[in-house]
Amino acid sequence: MKNVAIIMGGYSSEYKISLKSGEVVYNHLDSTKYNLYKIHILTEGWFYVDEQNNRFVVDKNDFSVTVNSEKITFDVVFNAIHGTPGEDGLIQAYLKLLNIPQTSCNYYQSALTFNKRDMLSVLKPYGIKTAISYYLNKGDVIDENQIIQRVGLPCFVKPNKSGSSFGISMVKDSEQLLPAIDKAYVEDDEIIIESYLKGTEVSVGVIKYKDQTMVLPITEIVSENDFFDYEAKYEGKSSEITPARISDDEKAKVEDAAKRIYTILKMDGFSRSEFILVSGEPFLLEMNTVPGLTTESILPQQAREAGISLNELFDNAIELALTRTHF
């Protein structure tokens, strides 16, 4: 049987969510088909955690674990880390150097998509529609009038490299702008300020399934708050409707845009892209390459709607990783 390391945790504010995703993966993979190992990658260290919650230190030289004098190495890694180092290319590059296959996209695609500014800049020449944006790096002079003149009000202030809506604010008047910038800088030293797009928010997963690029059923996001923030995502302050209540024409446009983006960026593994439909046209907000994998998360909801169980979804990811010639 293949040894599968399920990596979870990470170094960002998302680590608790990632631990939940990793547990779901562990619980839904077939333990009669694979030897499953929960690997916690945390700021205080990397550990294999057994069924009794005993911790064994991971040797970073070769990504191995020694348990009762027996050295365990891994045939494949299931990546369930949201944020750094699992969603920004670091783990992918490390595992590539060790020649260990993993389930998410390659390191370049991971780093590119995690950087909202870079990804949107790469996709614009391909005709992918996006919000008007303004960029700031920590230490830059902040010209409030220039920002508002460019993006208008209301607008969104976001950390450039962050997930789960940490550090995001909706700014409705000029007095809220500086506090929103300070909040975003807590998460990242680069921020992106975007114009408000009024329309229907949708989320769509694109995955490789049985060696085909597959667009999953689209989810409509209806938030009780001003936008799809942390409360809306994880504390029940939203309705997620799958399939989305959109026209056939809108559905076709979202599916086409999501699949084009996946293909243009030469993606592998899971992805989940967020769009706002404005007058029937999809505007891209961001792409997640290690989306939430809890039973309530959007991508598993979409897979279920497509008739794919969590076991099938996760097993397929491992099988594809084992057959890929690049990882």
The string of pLDDT tens digits covering residues 280-301 is 999 999 999 999 999 889 999 9
- Entry field: residues in the chain: 327
The string of pLDDT tens digits covering residues 221-268 is 997 766 554 554 455 567 899 999 999 999 999 999 999 999 999 999
Q: In this structure, which long-range contacts are made by residues 247-251, counting pairs with CB atoms below 8 Å and at least 24 apart in sequence?
A: 247/280, 249/280, 250/277, 250/280, 250/282, 251/218
The model's pTM is 0.91
Residue 6: which of 57, 81, 60 has the closest Cα?
A: 81
Residue 296 token pair? 């309530």
3-class SS of residue 123? helix
CB 246 within 8 A of CB 202: yes
Whether residue 85 is preceded by a cis peptide bond, meaning omega within 30 degrees of 0, is yes
Give the confidence band of 161 by pLDDT, cuts at 50, 70, 90: confident
The string of pLDDT tens digits covering residues 90-136 is 999 999 999 999 999 999 999 999 999 999 999 999 999 999 999 99
- DSSP 8-state assignment for residue 118: H
Sheet holding 2-9, edge to edge: 70-72, 64-67, 55-59, 45-49, 34-42, 2-9, 76-79
Rg from Cα positions in the chain? 20
In DSSP notation, 228-287 reads S-HHHHHSS-EEEESS-S--HHHHHHHHHHHHHHHHHTT--S-EEEEEEEETTEEEEEEE
- Pairwise CA distance, residues 315 & 45, whole Å: 28
Pick the CATH number of 133-195 from 3.30.300.30, 3.30.1490.20, 3.40.640.10, 3.40.50.800: 3.30.1490.20
Record: fold of 2-103: Rossmann fold (3.40.50)
Residue 162: which of 120, 127, 191 has the closest Cα?
A: 191
pLDDT the model gives residue 162: 75
pLDDT the model gives residue 232: 46
- Pairwise CA distance, residues 109 & 264, whole Å: 10
Given a cut of 50, whether residue 191 has pLDDT beyond it is: yes
Residue boundaries of the structural domains of the chain? 2-103, 112-128+198-323, 133-195
Pick the CATH number of 112-128+198-323 from 3.30.360.10, 3.30.470.20, 3.40.50.700, 3.30.450.20: 3.30.470.20
